[in-house]
Structure 1
Amino acid sequence: MRDALGIVFGETSTHSFKVALADARRARRRDYVKVWHDVDGWVLCQIAGITRSDERFTEERVFEQHEGEPESGERVVAHVEVVGSRGQDGVLRVPTIPISPGEKVFRADPELIKETLGLVKGELYIGKLDGHDIEVRLDANSFVQRHCSILAMTGSGKSYTAGVIIEELLEQDVPLLIIDPHGEYSSLRHPSEEMGLEEFGVSPKGYGDKITVLTPASLSVNPEADGVLRLRGHSLGVQDIVRVLGESPTNTHVGILYEAISRLRAERDTYDLQDIIGEVAASESKAKWAVLALLEQIADSELFCGEATPIQSLLKRGRCTVISMVGVKPSVQPLVVSIVCTELLEARKLGLVPPGMVVVEEAHNFAPERGFAVAPSTDILRTIASEGRKFGLGLMVISQRPARVDKNVLSQCNTQIILRVTGRVDLQALAKGLEGMTSELVEDIKSLPMGTAIISSSSLERPIMVRICKRRTRHGGASVSIVGSKAKSPRRRRAKKPVEAVEDAPPGAHPPDAQPPRGGVLSKLFGTRR
């Protein structure tokens, strides 16, 4: 009892009470404490705030003249919120009878914190509870099935945090497909050279044997890639083309496409994009030029030339496929995501690929909120977010602009990992769109230190503050120094494995030393292929 932090006083409720602290230096905001309850036993609580006052320095007395130093009149009061306690059935309950005034309050022991907050099990090691040496682990099945969002302002560690989670998913052999706009996730191949890993009990490790990097561009543009990504381009239907375009074509445009494709299907068993362009060009309608312009946009991407990459090769047990968009025009990137994710979801429904997770970096570009932009990938990402759980296809979205991410997607993310955000519009979006986001949490988010996140999840009883674990692999998204750094020579193309040594390379991902098939209308978009 001598270790008591303070004593409960004044009016109490079942959800909160006040504590007179004996020493302001022994407690701080967000500390976990415990107090005895006559019915429920030890109850876990958390300090929501601390106030200090001193009768010597009231507004009236600071203007008075004192002779000598008066005795200390300082009062330190902690405002405490009740978390609850678990009964024999393991269910967390909040007391139905308020805490008794006069009860002493103690620092909570680690076992009580872990048991009450739900930190006793989980395969995914995320980090440590802020202020404690308690590991935070999340259930892998729930994490993948119910989706996740990682949100933070630029430079606050969202990609680093995503890397930590991807490493943990790879440790569990979860199939992964990463949409990588900036080519930063190829660094998962290499072990970390960062200091401080021992604090979290992890060691440097590379996952080169589990990572395959594909590019929709060419190997000359993206030499970090293991092969090129090519999509199914034969026998496309009207809806396939409309979905790829991501726009709402007029009825006239749809009619032209329908007539062209109907003629092709009547004449032959298979046809390709160039055949469709030829048929549209032969149309007598003056509106054909707008349709041709749209078809040329698809052809320019070269996504449909050559042998298509089998969709089964993109999601494999114990493997991670990274689609690196380096060198791909921003207008083309959502087309790639739209087609790949659509085929992936259909393949999952048919059982052609195992259950897994799709990771989308810069999600505001691929699933933008209405009023900000339009992207062809928005609809399929909404569908995965709302229906993916039924078919075992999870979604992780990562963004620096929460306000610009489609709310239908964000609202389906059961696990929310939020690092520092300061933008007023983004904070408002977080407060409105995410469950359990109180005004107090919003204030905390504005002042989060680097490497610390607030995590809310169905596997946790309440949002918690976590120091994110150090990465095992090299971080590929680190900021580039501008001042005080020596100029570096251009990055060399990394050494490639011999073609015959790439045993697990996707069949349609053309080996780096093989000559990929040529094709496409305007190859100048991505440069000349090797």
Structure 2
Amino acid sequence: MKVLKKEELVPTLYQLFSQAKEKVLVVSAWIRGSIFKELLSLLPENVQLEVIVRAGNLSDMDITDEAFFRETKKKGGRILLNPKLHSKFLIIDERYAVVGSSNITFMGLYPEGNVETNVLIEEKEKVKELLEFYENLKEESVDYTDVVGYAVSSRSPKEAEIVLLEDLKEQTYLGIQGEEFFLCRLSNVSGKKETREDALNRILSSEVWDWKVAALFAHLYERPEIKTGRLEILGEYEKERNLFKTPTKSVESGSLVKKLEPESEELKRILFKNHSGYDMKYPTYLGKLYNTEVKAYLDMDKVLGMHMAVLGTTGSGKTTFVKKILKNFKESEVIIFDIYGEYAQELGAKEVIVENVLMPISVEDVKDYLKEAGSTLEERSTEEKEFFSVFRRALKPDIEATELKEKSFKEIYEEAVKNLHSLHLKQDAQSVYEHLERTYSRGALEQQPKVLKEVVDFLNSEERVKVFNFKEVDITETKVNLTGLILKEIFIRAKKDRKPRLIVIEEAQNVAPERGTGDVPSGKENVAFVYAKKIAMEGRKLNLGLIAITQRPANLSKFILSQLNTQVIFKLITKNDLDAVSPFFEYSKEDIFRLLPFLKPGTAFVSGLAVPFSFLFQMEEIPYY
């Protein structure tokens, strides 16, 4: 250890800075930029630089001036702030240290200044001790990198006001690092210019209107604009317990608000939790938190048991979103009811392309065909009753029980016609058949056994992802009835084996319509609705999950919508649809609700059990993870 005379201090610092090879650590309560610039000019390229300075009140920044910050950043240095700092020392390459009373100012370093005492330390153990002290000091200091503003008031543990240091878009996600880490969402950004009262009084007292306008314009032009916003505190993260929880204490005024660091360990731990606070079992990549580079996930385990709704207008990104998560999720069997033929190729999955056939599952369906053809056949006479009894016996809402598995509709119809003995009834029945053949084609009346065999064989196959492609089917009742038969069969199998299965239904409002909104019935005669409801209610205990996709949430059964415990909501426009999803937006999310009609394709709001908190996210066109 060597005591440095005042005249030896600056030459020693010059020598140490010029000979540095790896890292220079500087601790000084105050630093003058012009003085520090001389030292930095000696520092070789690629040497790391860290500086801790005092920032306890504004007068500190009168000494540690703008030039210091400018020159340090120009050199690529990192600056940390400590409001209580009074230490002065530096460490060079973990080999040399200078400790003393001198700040890096003219009065601190030069003989004409204050009387100061400093020592040069070269002993490894002593330098190591000082390095440990530095690391502790660093932990207590504030890294203002990526700071975008300050919390200036806190209305409650869930809300605070921010003064912004840079322009940020609303719905940007931010963080506050105090004793704990707080995750926040920015909204209600506004700007205002503070005016000087004396200047304002002088301007407004003028009787010359034109001068008054010009003077007020000039005064406001010279005044800085102060931007403020509202922070919704989404949650508080306790590192020690690895717990993301509802905030219980308000954010301190003066807390630094930062951009989120995408690779932050704390942030990763938060985003890999579900709404219950537990680590996700099957984290599946969604996209990025809105206006950030932070990757977001949902827990497909919560979708498997608790279901999910995917809602949005045509072209908003619903199907693309579902395809992305399915490609990233490989933990269960997946059965997809694909209306437009959009899934198999992208997922690399096998599919059954369903033929456009009539698929009646009850005598009521046959009565609808007769009514459509203008028939007068009804269950009045004995022969008419026998005619209908054939259909009542043959048609069942069950793949294994329906005779359509072995016989075509044509064969069953011909069998029923044999019970008609009156010429006018036979002719009526024959005209109905001709109408059906002309309307739907001959194949639509004859291919039922083939279609049902393909369905059963596909359900029995070992394919993990099974796509039922309905793009060739233009008969609404067939889509609904066949979907119902398949849903029932899946449900029966799930009760027996409890294997994990995930069902995806496009155009779900046609399968399970809200009463009075669809072209198909919503009561017990709609087997698709009945089993969609059963799956929504009982799926959890059967390892049977449901993803319901619709562009018309107002037309989807409210009961089923209420059972879909994760919601992904893309752009919606109509009042009825907005009203249908409004219960998913708590008071603090009303600003997001108002954004729904303006969301760009690929941007959505997700809430519910599969995510740690509700948030906006943006999908990406990137390779699947």
After TM superposition, is the score higher than 0.5?
A: yes
Counterpart residue number, 1:282 = 419
Q: Is the 8 A contact 2:190 2:229 kept in 1?
A: yes
Q: For structure 1, which segment, 362-371 or 110-119, has the greater mean C-alpha deviation from structure 2 after superposition?
A: 110-119
**SS of 1:426 mapped into structure 2:** helix
The answer to whether residue 474 in structure 2 is matched with residue 329 in structure 1 is: yes
Counterpart residue number, 2:218 = 69
Unaligned residue ranges in structure 1 (runs of 5+): 190-206, 219-229, 234-239, 474-530
Matched residue type, 1:241:
S
Unaligned residue ranges in structure 2 (runs of 5+): 1-141, 274-278, 372-377, 396-401, 521-525
Counterpart residue number, 2:266 = 112
> Shift of residue 333 of structure 1?
1.5
CA offset digits 1:188-216 (Å, max 9, x no partner): 26xxxxxxxxxxxxxxxxx2xx4233323
CA offset digits 1:130-165 (Å, max 9, x no partner): 233332222232222222222111222222222212
Matched residue type, 2:322:
A
Q: Structure 1 residues 91 and 259, CA, compared in 2 at 3 Å: closer, same or farther?
A: same
Matched residue type, 1:314:
L
> Shift of residue 427 of structure 1?
1.4
Inter-partner Cα distance in structure 2 for 1:315 and 1:164: 26
Counterpart residue number, 1:451 = 602
Q: Structure 1 residues 435 and 103, CA, compared in 2 at 3 Å: closer, same or farther?
A: closer
Counterpart residue number, 1:193 = none
The answer to whether residue 286 in structure 2 is matched with residue 135 in structure 1 is: no
**SS of 1:80 mapped into structure 2:** strand
> After superposition, where does 1:21-420 map in structure 2 within 5 Å?
21=164, 23-25=165-167, 27-36=168-177, 41-55=180-194, 64-67=212-215, 69-70=218-219, 71-87=222-238, 88-109=240-261, 110-118=264-272, 121=280, 122-169=282-329, 172=330, 174-188=332-346, 207=348, 210-217=349-356, 241=362, 260=390, 272=407, 274-275=411-412, 278-279=415-416, 282=419, 300-302=444-446, 304-306=448-450, 308-309=453-454, 311=456, 313-314=458-459, 319-331=464-476, 332-351=478-497, 354-375=499-520, 376=526, 377-420=528-571
Inter-partner Cα distance in structure 2 for 1:302 and 1:390: 39
Q: Is the 8 A contact 1:452 1:466 kept in 2?
A: yes
Inter-partner Cα distance in structure 2 for 1:152 and 1:34: 30
Larger C-alpha radius of gyration, 1 or 2? 2
Matched residue type, 1:329:
D
Q: Structure 1 residues 10 and 349, CA, compared in 2 at 3 Å: closer, same or farther?
A: closer
CA offset digits 1:255-305 (Å, max 9, x no partner): 86885479899xxx9885645763476279999989x979x7999554533
**SS of 2:218 mapped into structure 1:** coil
Q: Is the 8 A contact 1:44 1:116 kept in 2?
A: no
> Shift of residue 342 of structure 1?
1.4
Q: Is the 8 A contact 2:193 2:224 kept in 1?
A: yes
Inter-partner Cα distance in structure 2 for 1:112 and 1:139: 18
Counterpart residue number, 2:158 = 15
**SS of 2:493 mapped into structure 1:** helix
Matched residue type, 2:481:
L
**SS of 2:595 mapped into structure 1:** helix
> Shift of residue 80 of structure 1?
0.8
Q: Is the 8 A contact 1:315 1:321 kept in 2?
A: no
Counterpart residue number, 1:486 = none
Q: Is the 8 A contact 1:151 1:417 kept in 2?
A: yes
Counterpart residue number, 1:508 = none
Q: Is the 8 A contact 2:191 2:225 kept in 1?
A: yes
> Shift of residue 173 of structure 1?
5.2
Inter-partner Cα distance in structure 2 for 1:440 and 1:287: 64
Higher relative contact order, chain-length normalized (CA < 8 Å, sep 6+): 1
> Shift of residue 336 of structure 1?
1.4
Inter-partner Cα distance in structure 2 for 1:33 and 1:380: 43
Counterpart residue number, 2:3 = none
**SS of 2:337 mapped into structure 1:** strand
> Shift of residue 72 of structure 1?
0.9
Matched residue type, 1:386:
M
Q: Is the 8 A contact 1:177 1:315 kept in 2?
A: no
> Shift of residue 168 of structure 1?
1.9
Q: Structure 1 residues 133 and 148, CA, compared in 2 at 3 Å: closer, same or farther?
A: same
Inter-partner Cα distance in structure 2 for 1:56 and 1:327: 69
**SS of 2:474 mapped into structure 1:** coil
> After superposition, where does 1:460-471 map in structure 2 within 5 Å?
460-470=611-621
> Shift of residue 321 of structure 1?
2.1
> Shift of residue 18 of structure 1?
0.9
> Shift of residue 455 of structure 1?
1.7
> Shift of residue 52 of structure 1?
0.6
Q: Structure 1 residues 257 and 442, CA, compared in 2 at 3 Å: closer, same or farther?
A: farther
Q: Is the 8 A contact 1:118 1:459 kept in 2?
A: no
Q: Is the 8 A contact 2:362 2:392 kept in 1?
A: no
Q: Is the 8 A contact 1:431 1:442 kept in 2?
A: yes
Inter-partner Cα distance in structure 1 for 2:148 and 2:591: 24
Inter-partner Cα distance in structure 1 for 2:392 and 2:599: 58
Counterpart residue number, 1:428 = 579
Inter-partner Cα distance in structure 2 for 1:35 and 1:264: 68
Q: Structure 1 residues 460 and 140, CA, compared in 2 at 3 Å: closer, same or farther?
A: closer
TM-score (norm: length of structure 1): 0.67
Inter-partner Cα distance in structure 1 for 2:480 and 2:214: 72
**SS of 2:188 mapped into structure 1:** strand
Inter-partner Cα distance in structure 2 for 1:287 and 1:308: 34
Counterpart residue number, 1:477 = none
> Shift of residue 10 of structure 1?
4.0
Inter-partner Cα distance in structure 2 for 1:335 and 1:452: 34
> Shift of residue 327 of structure 1?
2.7
Q: Is the 8 A contact 1:35 1:103 kept in 2?
A: yes
